[in-house]
Amino acid sequence: MKINSPAEDRIVVDLTKQDMLELDITYEDMDYSTIETRRVIWTVLGEAGKALGREFDPSRRMIIEASPKSEGGCTLCFTILDGRKNRFPQKHTLRKQEDNLICDFDNLDGLFRAAAEAAAPGENIRSSLFELNGTYRLILGYSSETLRNILSEFCTVRNCSRLIYEHTREHWHLLAEGNAVELLNL
């Protein structure tokens, strides 16, 4: 767990995949309305307080932003709102960044070529592969402008909302889950 405080009212915590396992939560399960997520937030704020030598009261008004990391962890950004103008919500909010990408391919050649380009040495991109009527859909759990540009040479690329992801899981045939890019490069 890497803890940083770029400003008095802001805390940034990078959680590794191992940290997430130890906290018994995944990025997909994070939802502030659940006690499990609140437990994780309180634990992380407690660790941040120890590391920074300050006490952070989890009952204070704050915005919590979560962003997934390509290697399986996530980054949590806490912005403490006490003392600011009332244009912010009264309750805690957890904003999750949708960094997932959907890549739709008309043929296997484009799929294999894109997977070869997307594979970074030593980096395992969370990815799942689906098929429906000869169309292949690769959902990547990571997005960057560079990756988007590379993949757009081989397929149609767009952001993946939770609704689109769930629709794909329900109606498409799952071919590989979690490590599709790695499997396509064997």
**Residue 160 DSSP class:** -
Q: CA 151 → CA 29, 52, 67, 133, 143, distances in Å?
A: 28, 41, 21, 21, 11
Query: What are 72-120's pLDDT values in tens digits?
Result: 788 888 888 765 444 444 455 555 445 677 888 888 888 888 888 877 6
> CA-CA distances (angstroms) from residue 116 to 28, 55, 65?
26, 47, 32
> What pLDDT does 88 receive?
44
Q: Give yes or no: residues 107 and 144 share one domain.
A: yes
Do 76 and 108 lie in a common domain?
Answer: no
User: How confident is the model over 35-77, as pLDDT tens digits?
Assistant: 888 898 889 989 998 998 888 777 777 888 888 876 778 888 8
Q: In which domain, by residue range, is 77 found?
A: 2-96
The last residue of one of the domains, among 55, 77, 96, is 96
- As a whole-number percent, the residues of the chain with pLDDT over 70 amount to 84
